[in-house]
Every structure is written in structure tokens, then in C-alpha cells.
Amino acid sequence: MLVRIGLLTEGGYPYVSGDAGLWCDRLVRGLGRHEFDIYALSRTERQEDQGWIQLPPQVKRVRTAPLWTAHSDGVVYGRRARRRFAEAYGELAAAVCAGPEAAGTEASGNPADSVAAQADRFASALYGLAELARDEGGLIGALRSESAVRALERACRVPGALRTARTARVPDLLSVAAHIERTLRPLSLDWYEDDALGSADLCHAAAGGAAALPGLLARHFLGVPLLVTEYGVQLRAHYLAAATLEEAPAVRALLAAFHGRLATEVYRAAAIVTPGNAHARRWQERCGADRAKLRTVHPGMEAARFADVGEAVRGSRCADPDTLVWVGRIEPAKDLISLLHAFAEIRRAEPKTRLRIIGAPAEGPDGATYLAHCKALAAQLFPDEAEGVHAVGDNPVSFEEIGGPEIPSLAEAYACGALIVLSSVVEGFPVSLVEAMLCGRATVSTDVGAVVEVIGGTGLVVPPRNPRALAEACVALLRDPERRERLGAAARARALELFTVEQNITAFHGIYLEIVSHSPVRRVIVDEEGEPLPFGVPAEAHVPGRWTEPRLMTAGRPRWAEGAPVRATAPLTAPVPAPGPVSVSVGEGA
């Protein structure tokens, strides 16, 4: 069955410099049987200038809009439109500014009910603004106008508003209004027509936040179901970004509330939400996503690159049984210091071991400084060693980069060690751990981010910042090659099952079909004059799957339904069976 997917992205695919570009590209290429329309919001002018990546033929249409600039279309509202705007924006501001105290003192008394009431209020205000933008235009100017600022001020001053919001000064109100205007720019787009997002069977937002806004509106205006994929939770990213801004507390509080309500509405409206890992899932649950809607779809990694190393025969598999390997980008969050200290303990137990640290320093001065410091520490802890008095010595810890003569590729980097070590203190989704698993290597990693979820018992996990525990785990594995083999094989099997591109694409394919079958878009077919065409959509269109295909007919029809329908009792008169009922009975019988 062919599904037409409206893929909504923000600051990523199909632009060259994008966030989730690789994932989207693999998804689109992997689902060649479906059609994709890409609706992309660009984040900066530079990104737009750099152009797109090459798109496969299943991409039928690309529409883009800038988020970084907006020109007011010069529409000045009349009195009625002004009142509509003031009402909708006032509701939005009130929903954003409402504090927990206000929620508790509402008439219902039940906090859960009043939270839902606030979410409803936010949603209706948001859709009110979107309808206004669709009917009248001119929303961008209105969102920056004095009446917006005034509505915010009023909402901040009501009793029961957020405690921090009450301290808002005029510049704070202005910057909140400006930020809301920036975020709500997708409301003014012309994508919500029958020939744009209306022609899609489902909208797939590649991220939450601004990317999901067009999906929300498409669902509201046109009834197109929405699928939201979040590999990193947008709200959390907003919090982390806001921590670096020098804004007043009132601004941060209001913006946090705004983004929180927006996230809640996105999760509420979405047919299915797919977090990338358990961590994202927890955040989404926290923001009010219904558990029944959540399907974790792990990101996919390209397994073919590591097939040679992973499938190598046992004897040649461990080139050097005494080598530990660490692969990654060298930055303070990886805590190489701790790894070096752990290695010092390992050397005390197993003097022959070597440590190869493979990777480039992170961009910026921090990475280079950290690398230099690690090298100095390694030189301090481990003197150069030589085999005899006549041989040239070497340090047991080496810092290497991929691309050199010894390590031409990433797979080789993993292949050259018996044991892969991960020592991070902060980690999101540990890509290098998955790569090590795909290579069939035993791993010792620290318990951070999604590590436990990824490794799932096929490797050793120690607490972060605990060199002694790390050393003990490494020594245990170094002394037990059998266990290493076992763990490596199990890790590879697990990675192949959970973290390949294929499983990622299959999962989304299944979710697409599920959404389309559960909530098909009901369209009214019109003739040339614009009159609705009765029976324009056949009854079969409402049944999942393509029922007119002969293969499916014979396979899906039970034996008793084969052939023409037969009446149980002979009728008194013998009418000729009309062709119409036949098809209906087939549809119902199966």
C-alpha cells in the first residue's frame, strides 16, 4: 500500500548542514515504495545558502520556509480581527502564565483536571491564532504588536500567575513576545491547503517543537494524523540552551512554560510518538505523553561497515589480546583522565597491556587543551618501555587518529583491540558503544546516558568516575578470553537486532501502516464544479490494505467465501444477483 508521507523537518534534512540529516535520508531512501513530500524549516541563512543534499526520486516535492526571518505581510487587522487576535493571544498568555497555584484553585479542585484544562486552553488558543492567520494573514505583525505585549502583561499580573512571571519587567515582556513570535512563525505558512499538507496521508515530524507545529495544524485543519519522532527531547534542549542565555528569570520561566505547553500539545495531538531511547521516553512521559502512544524506535547504525570485523573467524578475531581500545571524540565529557588512572591499576595487575586512544579532539580550544593534558598525564604515569636494552622504547598508551597507516578505518580501530572501553561521564546515545557491539567486541562502559539500555547485559557496566571499578572489570575480562568471546558475540547479536538501519526503517514502515489504517484521512472528493461527489471514494478505501489486488484477494478470503455467494435457501423467485452486493459481501466476509 502506497502511503504519502509529509516529512516535517526543522534545521536539518534536506539541507547539507543539518541535524538529523543522515537519519532522514536513510529513512526516505529505505522506504522507496512510499512517496515523500518534504516540508523543511531552515534555521539560518547560511544553511539555506549551502543548499540541499541529493534527493531520491521518491521525494515528490520539497517546500521550505525560513524560521530565521519573517516579513510582516503588511496586513492591518480590522476591529473584528483585532478582537479575535486579542482573545486568542490573551488565552495563550493566560495558559502560559498560569502557575501551579492557579491550577490548584480552579473550580474542579482536582489538580490533574486543571492541568488538562490548561492544556486545553493552550491548544484552543494556538488553533485560534492559526485560524486567524489562515483567514486574515498578518499574524507576524500582530504577534509583535502592542496588544500582544499588553496581553502578556495582563496575564503576568493576575493573581495565581507563576511566581517568577510576576517580576516581569517591560523588556522581559518584549523578549517573551519576540520569542513566541519566532516560534509561532510556522502558523503563517501556506502549507495547510489541500494541495500541500492536505494531500499527505500522514505527517511525520522529525523533531518536536517548531518542526511539529505544521503537523499540529495539518491535523487540526485537515485531519492528517501526526507521527512525532524525537531522538533528543526538544523541551530538554530548550532548557539546556536557555541555561546559557543571559535572560531574566521571568523570561526563562515564561518561555519554559510556553515550550512545555507546546510539547504537551504535540504529544497529545500525535497519533504515535517515537522516542529514540528510554531517556527521551521518560521526558516525554513527564511532559504528558500517553504511554499507549509511545513506541521506542532506536536509531539505526550502518552494520555493513562492521560486518567484516564482526564476522571474522575466531582465531584472527582478536589481533592483540592485551590491547584496550578507546574510540571517540576527545573532550572533557569523555573523562579520559579517569581511564588513564584505571589503566594504571590495570597495568599493576596485567603489566603487558597496552591502551590505544583513538580519535580526534573536539572542535574548539577545549578539545586540544584536553588532549594535550591527557598526553602529559599519560607520559607522567607510564614511562616509555622497550623489550630489551637495545630496542627503541614506546609508551604503553598511544594516541592515534583514524586515517593513519595503522588504522585506515573505523572498523579497523575496533578490530585492533580485545576490549573496548567507554569512560564517559556524560553521554546521550553512545554511538561508539553500538559500533563496538557491531564489531563483536566485549565492552566495559560507565553507567551514563543510554548505555545500560544499549548494552543490556552483553557487556560490563561500572559507575562513572570510578577508575578502580573500571580497572577491575577490565582485568576480569582481560584474563578471561572465553567470556570476552561470549560477550562479544552476544553484543553483536543484540546490536544487529536492535540498532541497525534496517530495523529502524522497518519499525517506521510498520508505524506508518498502523497510523494510516487506524486514522485514515477522510477526504471529500469533489467534481469539476466543486460539488461533493457522492460515492467518490469506494467503500474499500476505508479498509486497510489494498483489497483490489488479486493476490491479496485469494490469500485473504476464507475458503467458504471462494466463488460466487450462494444463498442458503432457494428463493421463491430466482432473481439475478446484482454485481454490486458481490463486492460488498467480499469486503465484509474477509
Site residue total, other proteins (CB under 8 A):
74
Say whether 380 sits in a helix, a strand or coil: helix
- Taking alpha carbons only, the member of 259, 205, 264 closest to residue 229 is 205
* Residue burial 163-195, b: 16+ Cβ < 10 Å; e: rest: ebbbebeeebbbbbbebbbbbbbbbbbebbeee
* Cβ atoms of 114 and 106 closer than 8 Å: yes
Phi, psi of 338 (to 5 degrees): -60, -40
CB atoms within 10 A of CB 76: 12
Tell me how far apart the 2 most distant CA atoms of the chain are, in Å.
Answer: 113
Classify burial at 5, counting beta carbons within 10 Å of its beta carbon; exposed 0-12, middle 13-18, buried 19 or more. Answer: buried
Which among 200-208, 241-249, 474-482, 558-566 is the span making contact with other proteins, rule CB under 8 A?
A: 241-249
Residues 465-504 as x/- pattern, contact with other proteins by CB under 8 A: xxxx------------------------------------
379 counts as binding other proteins under rule CB under 8 A: no
- Taking alpha carbons only, the member of 85, 87, 90, 17 closest to residue 51 is 17
Which residue, 143 or 303, has its beta carbon nearer to other proteins? 143
Minimum CB separation of residue 103 from other proteins in Å reads 13
- Among positions 270-299, residues that touch other proteins (CB under 8 A) are 279, 282, 286
- Among positions 9-48, residues that touch other proteins (CB under 8 A) are 43-45
- Among positions 170-189, residues that touch other proteins (CB under 8 A) are 170-175, 177-179, 181-182
Minimum CB separation of residue 81 from other proteins in Å reads 16
- Among positions 69-88, residues that touch other proteins (CB under 8 A) are 69-70, 72, 76
Which residue, 70 or 318, has its beta carbon nearer to other proteins? 70
Among 145, 274, 323, 458, binds other proteins (CB under 8 A): 145
Q: Dihedral sign, CA of 80, 83, 89, 91?
A: negative
- Among positions 297-356, residues that touch other proteins (CB under 8 A) are 332-335, 337-338, 341, 344
Cell of 67: 524560521
Sheet of strand 272-275: strand arrangement: 59-66, 35-42, 4-10, 202-205, 226-230, 272-275
Minimum CB separation of residue 236 from other proteins in Å reads 5
**Cell 541563512 found at:** 45
Which residue, 116 or 278, has its beta carbon nearer to other proteins? 278
CB atoms within 10 A of CB 517: 13
Which among 116-124, 146-154, 399-407, 471-479 is the span making contact with other proteins, rule CB under 8 A?
A: 146-154
Which residue, 359 or 440, has its beta carbon nearer to other proteins? 359
150 counts as binding other proteins under rule CB under 8 A: yes
Which among 110-118, 232-240, 348-356, 532-540 is the span making contact with other proteins, rule CB under 8 A?
A: 232-240
Which among 2-10, 243-251, 303-311, 558-566 is the span making contact with other proteins, rule CB under 8 A?
A: 243-251
* End-to-end alpha carbon distance in the chain: 18
- Among positions 385-424, residues that touch other proteins (CB under 8 A) are 424
- Among positions 448-467, residues that touch other proteins (CB under 8 A) are 448-449, 463-467
Which among 145-153, 264-272, 293-301, 314-322 is the span making contact with other proteins, rule CB under 8 A?
A: 145-153
